[in-house]
Amino acid sequence: MNADFDTYRLSEDHEAIRHAVREIAEAKIAPYAAAVDEESRYPQEAHDALVASDFFAPHVAEEYGGAGADALATCIVIEEVARVCVSSSLIPAVNKLGSMPVIIGASEEVKKKYLTPLAAGTGGFSYGLSEREAGSDTASMRCKATDNGDGTFTLNGQKAWITNAGVSEYYTVMAVTDPDGPRGGNVTAFVVEKSDPGFTFGEKEKKLGIKGSPTRELIFTGCVIPEDRMVGGRGEGLKIALRTLDHTRVTIGAQAVGVAQGALEQATAYIKERKQFGKAIADFQGVQFMLAEMAMQLEAARQLVYVAAAKSERNASDLTFFGAAAKCFASDVAMQVTTDAVQLLGGAGYTKDFPLERMMRDAKITQIYEGTNQIQRLVMARQLLR
């Protein structure tokens, strides 16, 4: 790993972005967060607000009509939205996840075709890697893309646990193009459009949290797509997919920091008002120690995420370690902080009168998706042992 300690510095632009997103989140996202969760519906209000403010896919370069936000700025956007609604924060997060393979490996023609509408907010992007029997073991996927020999491929199979499936217009899908080829070296990436014949969706998953973000299967039955939608070279799909995750695990860390920040703020406000034994419970040392521990862990997580974001921006050689570390540590912190926040509110924390039970449920997924935290620890160890 690199020994460059001065790895990031928040600029005035970064702080301006935080202020702008926080205003939008408080005014146009937070008021709907409870209903989005209760009704398990897509947060259209957040979607519209993010499109209107250029925060729908802020990472897209200016040459494609995007805001050209760097990795750190993109993390700040996701963090600030997650502070009030994790489901809504998946809009910019998954747009980056779905489009990152295109940014990394696609031809200029494919980039222009798909990044331009993404930047304009007319077409979101999702990411199709996992399958029911190929989660952590991505190389064992079975979804196939058969070369028809006429400039087209036919997709058959399914992808599971796909975030914002059915809402997004575009999907980067990994499929086996050479069944007899070397494991991991026989997968190719393609862009699939929502309107492609033979492409359908499974039923929405009924989930513990992030209920406002639809999670569905992608189902391909004789889905014919043109060869020019290939992302990168044939057989490079898994390599591109893993490079993508190096970058986007950082954004999950940012999401985790955001929900932990929101929970800390809610808990702090409550304990200053709640009185027991004749004084505010914030005056009790045991409560103060809990609060201090929550804030300390949260700040450590934020610093690690920001360092990883800086490394993502410059494609640092140790990004794989730092991306895994940021996602793993921040999500563990988010789970602990939201759990402790519920505890600090006591019985009130366990009710839907306050957002903390939702935050706690939402935080759990950050320890699971884009690679479980057990997998992140394997990734880090392998980097250390190289």
- The domain locations on the chain are 12-120, 125-235, 239-385
- For residue 207, which phi and psi values (nearest 5 degrees)? -115, 160
Q: Which residues are catalytic?
A: 370
Q: Which pLDDT does position 293 carry in this prediction?
A: 98
Whole-angstrom distance, CA of residue 67 vs CA of residue 24: 17
pLDDT of residue 220: 98
Please state, in angstroms and rounded to a whole number, the distance separating the CA atoms of residues 145 and 128: 13
Whether pTM exceeds 0.85: yes
For position 1, what pLDDT does the model report?
Answer: 53
Whose CA is closest to 157, among 132, 127, 139? Answer: 132
Q: What is the 3-state secondary structure (H, E, C) of 351-371?
A: CCCCCHHHHHHHHHHCCCCCC
Closest by CA position to 110, among listed 54, 151, 64: 64
Structure tokens at 357: 């039970």
Cα separation, 155 vs 221, whole angstroms: 7
CATH superfamily, with its number, for domain 239-385: Butyryl-CoA Dehydrogenase, subunit A, domain 3 (1.20.140.10)
Q: What gap in Å lies between CA 248 and CA 376, rounded to an integer?
A: 13
CA distance 357 to 172: 33
Write down the pLDDT at residue 2: 52
| Contact partners, residue 307, CB within 8 Å, separation at least 6 | 7, 8, 322, 326
Is 193 in contact with 170 (CB distance < 8 Å)?
yes
Token pair of 164 as six digits = 């914002």
CATH topology of domain 125-235: Butyryl-CoA Dehydrogenase, subunit A; domain 2 (2.40.110)
Domains 12-120 and 125-235 share a fold: no
What distance lies between CA 382 and its chain's CA centroid? 23
pLDDT tens for each residue of the chain, 386 residues long: 554 545 788 999 999 999 999 999 999 999 999 999 999 999 999 999 999 999 999 999 999 999 999 999 999 999 999 999 999 999 999 999 999 999 999 999 999 999 999 999 999 999 999 999 998 998 899 999 999 999 999 999 999 999 999 999 999 999 999 999 999 899 999 999 999 999 999 999 999 999 999 999 999 999 999 999 999 999 999 999 999 999 999 999 999 999 999 999 999 999 999 999 999 999 999 999 999 999 999 999 999 999 999 999 999 999 999 999 999 999 999 999 999 999 999 999 999 999 999 999 999 999 999 999 999 999 999 999 99
CATH class of the domain whose range is 12-120: mainly alpha
Number of neighbouring beta carbons within 10 Å of residue 275: 12
